Amino acid sequence: MSANPAALQTDLLRQAHSLLRRQRHADAGRVLERLLELAPENVEGVTLQAQLALHSGDLDLATRMVETAARLAPHRAAIPYTRGRIHKARGELALALDCYTHAARLDPDNPDIPTSLGITLRALGRQEEAIAAYRRALALKPDHELASTNLANLLWSLGERESVAALRENARRSQAARVGQLHRKALELVEQGKRRAALIVLQEILATAPNPVTLLWAAGLASNCGDVPLGLETVERLLCVEPGNTAALRLACMLAVEAGLIERVSRHAEPLMRLAPTDEVLLLTRLALPAIQESRESIRATRSSYEAALDELLERQLTISDPGALVGVQSFFLAYHGECDRDLQVKAANLYARALPSLLYVAPHCERRERRPGRVRVGFLSRYFCWHSIGKTSRGLIEKTDRKRFEVFVLRVMPGTNDDTTAAIRACADHYLEVSGDLCALETTCRQLAALELDVLFYQDIGMDPLPYFLAFARLAPVQCVSYGHPNTSGVPAVDYFVSNDLYETADSPRHYSERLALLHDLPTLAYYYRPRAPSEPASRTQLGLPEEANLYVCPQTLFKIHPDFDALLAAILERDPRGRLVFIRSNIREWVDRLVARFRSTMPAVADRILFLPSMPGERFMQLLAVSDVMLDPLFFNGMNSSLEALAVGLPVVTLPTALQRGRHTRAMYVRMEMADCIAASEADYVDIAVRLGTDPAARQALRERILNRNHVLYEDLRVVREFERFFEEALRDKGFSV
């Protein structure tokens, strides 16, 4: 989302209108809350909130909001129209009629206004005038469903049966023509790669004429756009109509697995296994993992059950005939348990390799003893080369790699979001190729990449997306590596190296990886990271929806990173600081928020009411949040990377407790390079002490902020990161016996 305030307001209004068309009133309300926090006098936002209050039956709030809108823009037709709806809801028909008549003069082209006018006129017994009003609405929009239905009902009551039949046939034809036009538009947008825009068009079709084909298409498109909640909502809407639709059941299972919603997986898996039992469905459902864990005990039980399922499935010698039915890396949520996953990852990879031997493709050039002459060919592969943590941490390395020695290929998994970061990465690549993310086309993708004759294939994020995970089983370059994008071992035999940093690792680290551990030296982070921009305009805490006088401890991480062991530290901080407030970012998957809130009420009932959840926010707003916070709390076992770099850029102290695995040691490395140990805790008790001292002592906090701002330059735009990766690429090739 754009950081430009005007563009952001426009985007939020677009979201709100889209959600209202799809009857997602609660979600629309949250978007409008964000909009009005940003721009309290946005008249369209105020008017929409009035209409939303009217829908919920809160007529007093609706009245207050419409009067605010009238003060801001007295000549907008939406204002008397909304007033009319309020009067109608109160039974004040004459007042409603006056308002609708006024609105029709201001906006004569809006078919909703004469439709409402017709409803009110009929309620007043003025039948002929009501018929005329409905006909005006249909002249403006022939397929207007409410005007058509109401006119047909009125004519039927007056005995005009032939007129009703003609009216309904005309409405049917108009609706069919409109739906056909929208379908063609959606197809054109998909072909242009504009999937989000196509999804909005499909939602308009569903609001007009829902049918199973469009519902399934919209659900699949939503999942491709990364909108798992909308995809689930849409496919479950279809299943209410066609409970035996196996394609819908399979998609519902896949989306529920991706979101870690185990109850929904079970709900859809049982009929799917009854109707269409396959090994793919068995894999999909048996290896599903929950996103939010209840306790350390539930983590142990989850891991034990997952390993037992792997062992059982290995014994059964499954066969996968349809790779497209696989959801991908179902082990994603393992990385947030705080445990070493090597053995489980190796077992999972073994299972997939046995079940689908075609994964083990070998590119012809990888069987040669010499590589093609010229620069070293390095491919960087990800779906997330956009304004995403992967895009932000990959861009600098791609841009700065020495083109005299290296030829850079950017391999973009599609569909994916395109934005300014995408454009910058594309512009600096020697070669930019889009590859299909469709697992059914996996063999074709292997051949496409084999033709590039890469020397090094650098997977940016194995574990986050299905295509890179299954692609990694193939041998597509003599050197194949992965790194910190999703900081967990892959378990895949064809991935040769896990590239890490000696400031991240310990003496025990080699046993954490199925890959050979390759260490870069003395780096604060494994990214050539462009310095985050400070907010162009400061925001007050009130504007951000936060209490002005509280001590704010912010933990702006994805909610599945919040390990149950972290609860005790959070509770201790809030118990020791009565003015403390803990701030999280709300997920768009409501079940995650609900489960985490329920867990907090169980683990820290005395302080749970001081935990706040803010809506997700664009980059500029996020930086404003960091600038007004007092302390950032780094989660146990899985640190922030981008968030720590962004916090330290504005001087916000990040309290961290290093743990055994690499993913729990990122922020520590940043502080080591800054030569600052103030916020590196030695124990859980020390973590709480540091956080509370900084949260409650403004002078100590300010002094630390100033030191961070004086030293944080070592974290950003460090060419040593690029040189170290270049060293690794060449040394790894030499270790494979190739000259460079």
Q: Sorting pLDDT into bands at 50, 70 and 90, what band is 4?
A: low
Q: Which pLDDT score, from 0 to 100, does residue 141 have?
A: 86
Query: With contact defined as beta carbons under 8 Å apart, do 595 and 292 qualify?
Result: yes
Helix residue ranges per DSSP H, 321-388: 342-355
Rounded average pLDDT over 228-236: 91
Q: Is residue 102 one of the residues assigned to a domain? A: yes
1 pLDDT more than 60:
no
Rounded average pLDDT over 524-528: 95
Helix residue ranges per DSSP H, 158-243: 161-191, 195-208, 212-224, 228-241
Q: 534 in helix, strand or coil?
A: coil
**CATH code at position 660:** 3.40.50.2000
> Smallest Cα–Cα separation from 83: which of 62, 104, 110, 58?
62
Greatest alpha-carbon pair distance for the chain in Å reads 92
Q: Is residue 313 one of the residues assigned to a domain? A: no
Q: Domain count of the chain?
A: 4
Query: Which carries the bigger pLDDT value, residue 50 or residue 710?
Result: 710
405 pLDDT more than 70:
yes
Q: Is residue 49 one of the residues assigned to a domain? A: yes
Residue 304's Cβ-count burial label (10 Å; 0-12, 13-18, 19+) is exposed
| Strands, sheet with 611-614, edge to edge from the N-terminal-most edge strand | 611-614, 580-585, 551-554, 631-633, 654-655
Q: Is residue 336 one of the residues assigned to a domain? A: no
Q: End of a domain among 254, 277, 300? A: 277
Per-residue model confidence as pLDDT tens digits over 146-171 = 888 888 888 888 888 777 777 777 76
Q: End of a domain among 262, 277, 292? A: 277
Q: Sorting pLDDT into bands at 50, 70 and 90, what band is 22?
A: low
Task: Provide the total of helices (H) and of strands (E) in the chain, helices listed first.
Answer: 30, 12
Q: Which pLDDT score, from 0 to 100, does residue 268 have?
A: 94
Q: Is residue 444 one of the residues assigned to a domain? A: yes
CA atoms within 13 A on the CB side of 197: 12
In this structure, the answer to whether residues 520 and 590 fall within a common structural domain is no
In this structure, the answer to whether residues 168 and 273 fall within a common structural domain is no
In this structure, the answer to whether residues 691 and 725 fall within a common structural domain is no
Q: Which pLDDT score, from 0 to 100, does residue 683 have?
A: 97
In this structure, the answer to whether residues 683 and 725 fall within a common structural domain is no
Q: Is residue 299 one of the residues assigned to a domain? A: no
Q: Is residue 286 one of the residues assigned to a domain? A: no
In this structure, the answer to whether residues 32 and 52 fall within a common structural domain is yes
Q: Which pLDDT score, from 0 to 100, does residue 32 have?
A: 84
Query: With contact defined as beta carbons under 8 Å apart, do 452 and 474 qualify?
Result: no
3 pLDDT more than 80:
no
Per-residue model confidence as pLDDT tens digits over 338-381 = 999 999 999 999 999 999 999 999 999 999 989 999 999 999 99
State pTM to two decimals.
Answer: 0.80
**CATH code at position 111:** 1.25.40.10
Rounded average pLDDT over 461-478: 94
Q: Which of 29-33, 416-420, 502-506, 614-618 has the highest mean pLDDT?
A: 502-506
In this structure, the answer to whether residues 712 and 729 fall within a common structural domain is no
Distance of CA 396 to the CA centre of its chain: 23
Q: Which pLDDT score, from 0 to 100, does residue 72 have?
A: 86
In this structure, the answer to whether residues 229 and 168 fall within a common structural domain is no
> Smallest Cα–Cα separation from 171: which of 153, 132, 145, 150?
145
In this structure, the answer to whether residues 606 and 729 fall within a common structural domain is no
Q: Which pLDDT score, from 0 to 100, does residue 329 have?
A: 58
In this structure, the answer to whether residues 566 and 691 fall within a common structural domain is yes
Query: With contact defined as beta carbons under 8 Å apart, do 108 and 136 qualify?
Result: no
Q: What average pLDDT does the chain have?
A: 90
**CATH code at position 410:** 3.40.50.11380
In this structure, the answer to whether residues 494 and 558 fall within a common structural domain is no
328 pLDDT more than 80:
no
506 pLDDT more than 70:
yes
Rounded average pLDDT over 277-303: 93
> Which residue range(s) make up the domain with 257?
210-277
Rounded average pLDDT over 659-684: 97
Q: What does the CA dihedral 486, 491, 495, 497 come to, rounded to 10 degrees?
A: 70
Q: End of a domain among 227, 252, 277? A: 277
Per-residue model confidence as pLDDT tens digits over 544-599 = 889 999 999 999 999 999 999 999 999 999 999 999 999 999 998 999 999 999 99
CA distance 640 to 621: 18
Q: Sorting pLDDT into bands at 50, 70 and 90, what band is 5?
A: low
Q: Is residue 353 one of the residues assigned to a domain? A: no
Q: Please report how the helices 342-355 and 296-316 are oriented relative to each other, as an axis angle in degrees rounded to 10.
A: 30
In this structure, the answer to whether residues 476 and 394 fall within a common structural domain is yes
In this structure, the answer to whether residues 180 and 219 fall within a common structural domain is no
